[in-house]
Amino acid sequence: MKHSASRISASRSPRRTAAAPAATAAAAVLALAGLVATAAPAASAAPSAAPATRTAATTTANAAAAPDIPLANVKAHLTQFQSIASANGGNRAHGRPGYKASVDYVRAKLDAAGFTTSLQQFTSNGATGYNLIADWPGGDPNQVVMAGAHLDSVSSGAGINDNGSGSAAVLETALAVSRAGYQPAKHLRFAWWGAEELGLVGSKHYVANLPSTERSKISGYLNFDMIGSPNAGYFVYDDDPVIEKTFKDYFAGLGVPTEIETEGDGRSDHAPFKNAGVPVGGLFTGASRTKTSAQAQKWGGTAGQSFDRCYHSSCDNTSNINDTALDRNSDAAAHAVWTLSAGTSEPPAGDTYQNTTDVPIPDGGAAVTSSVNVTGRTGNAPSALKVGVDIVHTWRGDLVVDLVAPDGTAYRLKNASGGDSADNVQETYTVDASSETANGTWKLRVQDTARYDTGYINGFSLTF
Ligand code: TRP
Ligand code: CA
Ligand code: ZN
């Protein structure tokens, strides 16, 4: 029922809301395209009405958790590296037979596990060097997650911590991918670099010879160099924020505090990738730097002593390993490879969340809301979020309608316009909500700013 001529105009102005924010590319802050950190759902504000129903089918497959990497397997690889060094003059250095024997050992394991392997040759110091590359068949070829470690030692020792540890952890992570029959959304590539100890020669060669089209497909490179230092610290590279968070979250889950790696940024094989614009991250347990007493307090070990007293020395043998550190870092490597390659368990675009519980709108009164609770999504809302508004009202010009994001940001859908005497608001609005976290409680806020005509929210829906 609607009155005609003598409408009573609003006696007070409607409560103002913030103007709809411009589309900010907040997501672009994350350099690692596609590797978007999962935002925690907003604190659950009690819905003002019955729980929203989700109408479209949703994917139930969540990302598989990484398996535990057996420490014994990682250590078995170290034993093999030690044997290789012992049989080849005590080292696995670039240009020496122990290096090529190390490559052959790792490659045979990968071939047997179903990887597609290749050797990339280069020359350094007059000797042939090799990078070993192993691709796991499948995954999106346009989104490649790489993990790597340098496989060469210095000539003075077997290089079991530097860097048998990283090499073995990356190898065992790759073998775990095969054992699990893991089918990540992204393509996985593993690498063992040659001649790192001569100045990152192998990894520089790889990056320099990678066509820019291939380079841009690498969504992240994870580096593992010295991850079993006997007097270990737990250092995470301070680079790509998503990769860094992935590692930090893992250690936080173990209750192990971490610090940012500061013992020489750019001193390992992630540097060429970083310089080429690839998002990078990695782990490190310390080299020649001294552990402080504060670090010994939180991590154990010996204050006033190097993290690795055998760094670049002949005593970098199988005794030069902290098993706990090697185990944790190997598991962290697998966790990161799994997590960063899983893709999202994103429900498909087109999912609709709705609330059809009626909400009366007080005449010329306070704003009311209808809520929809969005869960299980990753990252931000779409730039073309469809907001379905179904309001039954006898004079829609009375109504001010906003979409309120989980963080409280309001998007004006409709202003009051006293002369608009038509019935009802039955519209689908398109909102650029790309700066809003998708998960959380979204509200349709409706205020009737003028007396006489009344109505109710009949339904509110969001289509992602
Ligand atoms: N292999 C590296 C080197 O000989 C070890 C190292 C030192 C390192 N500082 C680092 C590795 C920092 C990673 C991060 O220089
Ligand atoms: Ca383990
Ligand atoms: Zn080294």
Q: What CATH number did the domain enclosing 46 receive?
A: 2.60.120.260
Do 193 and 274 belong to one domain? yes
pLDDT in tens, 247-279: 999 999 999 999 999 998 799 999 999 999 999
Q: How far is the CA of 263 from the centre of ligand 1 (A)?
A: 7
Catalytic residue among 196, 197, 244, 436: 196
Do 175 and 197 belong to one domain? yes
Ligand 1 nearest atom to the CA of residue 163, by list position: 1
Do 201 and 231 belong to one domain? yes
Choosing from 263, 285, 288 the residue with most ligand 1 atoms within 8 A of its CB, the one to mutate for a pocket test is: 263
Do 306 and 246 belong to one domain? yes
Do 231 and 280 belong to one domain? yes
Question: Does 34 reside within a domain?
Answer: yes
Q: What is the CATH number of the domain that holds 118?
A: 3.40.630.10
pLDDT in tens, 358-389: 999 999 999 999 999 998 777 789 999 999 99
**Percent helix / strand / coil, the chain, rounded to 5:** 25, 25, 50
Q: How far is the CA of 327 from the centre of ligand 2 (A)?
A: 5
Choosing from 160, 192, 259, 284 the residue with most ligand 1 atoms within 8 A of its CB, the one to mutate for a pocket test is: 284
Buried residues in 324-355 as b, exposed as e (16+ CB within 10 A)? ebbbbbbbbbbbbbbbbbbbbbbbeeebbbbb
Q: Can you give the pTM of this predicted structure? A: 0.67
Q: How far is the CA of 193 from the centre of ligand 3 (A)?
A: 12
Do 222 and 290 belong to one domain? yes
Do 98 and 29 belong to one domain? no
Do 34 and 113 belong to one domain? no
Do 122 and 191 belong to one domain? yes
Q: Whose CA is nearest to atom 4 of ligand 1?
A: 197
The answer to whether 288 touches 325, Cβ cutoff 8 Å, is no
Do 357 and 274 belong to one domain? no
Angle, helix 323-341 to helix 166-180, in steps of 10 degrees: 50
Domain boundary among 342, 357, 390: 342
Among this protein's residues, is 259 annotated catalytic? no
Question: Does 427 reside within a domain?
Answer: yes
Q: Whose CA is nearest to atom 6 of ligand 1?
A: 267
pLDDT in tens, 272-315: 999 999 999 999 999 999 999 999 999 999 999 999 999 999 99
Q: Hey, what are 290's tokens?
A: 């001294």
Question: Does 2 reside within a domain?
Answer: no
The answer to whether 273 touches 215, Cβ cutoff 8 Å, is no
CA distance 252 to 274: 26
Please give the average per-residue pLDDT across 179-207, as a whole number. Answer: 97
Please give the average per-residue pLDDT across 434-456, as a whole number. Answer: 96
Domain boundary among 310, 342, 374: 342
Ordered alpha helix ranges (H), 200-351: 201-208, 212-215, 241-254, 270-275, 293-299, 323-341
Indicate if the pLDDT at residue 47 is higher than 80: no
Question: Does 181 reside within a domain?
Answer: yes
Indicate if the pLDDT at residue 181 is higher than 90: yes
Ligand 1 pocket, residues with Cβ under 6 angstroms: 162-163, 196, 225-226, 261, 263-264, 267-268, 284, 287
> In which domain, by residue range, is 354 found?
7-54+347-463
Do 20 and 77 belong to one domain? no
Domain boundary among 342, 370, 405: 342
Greater pLDDT, 445 or 344: 445
Q: How far is the CA of 335 from the centre of ligand 1 (A)?
A: 22
- HSE of 88 in the Cβ direction (CA atoms, 13 Å)? 23
Question: Does 1 reside within a domain?
Answer: no
Question: Does 385 reside within a domain?
Answer: yes
Say which ligand is closest to the CA of 94.
3
Question: Does 333 reside within a domain?
Answer: yes
Burial label, 378 (beta-carbon count in 10 A; 0-12, 13-18, 19+):
middle
CA distance 430 to 386: 5
Say which ligand is closest to the CA of 149.
1
Do 307 and 434 belong to one domain? no
Indicate if the pLDDT at residue 11 is higher than 90: no
Q: How far is the CA of 152 from the centre of ligand 1 (A)?
A: 13
How many domains, in total, are found in the chain? 2
Choosing from 155, 226, 227, 289 the residue with most ligand 1 atoms within 8 A of its CB, the one to mutate for a pocket test is: 226
Greater pLDDT, 38 or 335: 335
Q: Hey, what are 83's tokens?
A: 């044997």
